Structure 1
Amino acid sequence: MAHEKHFRIDYLLGGAYKTFYIRASKMDNSEAWHWATIDAGFGELPKYRSDKVTKLSKPQAERLGISNVEWTQN
């Protein structure tokens, strides 16, 4: 877990404001959308770190009611 940073992710789910914090080694818009889908209960977490999971894209997340995903490093 070397060089991990703390990030805040904000998003709207069906018009309701949501926010959460995560520790990760990197963050970009694609990763923020992925983590927002997980926090909302739509995305999949791997059972083990080595397991591969399908990440939902921004258009897929928007169809599920997620919007306005923003992230900042804390």
Structure 2
Amino acid sequence: VHLTDSLGKLSHILKTDNFAPVVHDHIHYEADGSTRQRQVVFGVVTAIDLLNYITTHERLDQSSSECSLSDDVSL
């Protein structure tokens, strides 16, 4: 997957594979001054990583929503 791909795409990949490499497009400069684009492995993601990410961000969203609601009530 690329860094810009959706979590849904990552989830779909992880249904059939144990892990997904995360790639990043990198511009490689040659000695003669020319360039070429390569994909470099940025990291590896597992289903547990995805689950941890979703639950952490869900908790953060809920806590900021709760803070917003409590701030509104105190006004």
User: What interval of TM-score do these two structures reach, taking the shorter chain for normalisation?
Assistant: under 0.3
Higher strand share: 1
TM-score norm. by structure 1 comes to: 0.27
TM-score norm. by structure 2 comes to: 0.27
Higher RCO (C-alpha under 8 Å, 6+ residues apart): 1
Higher helix share: 2
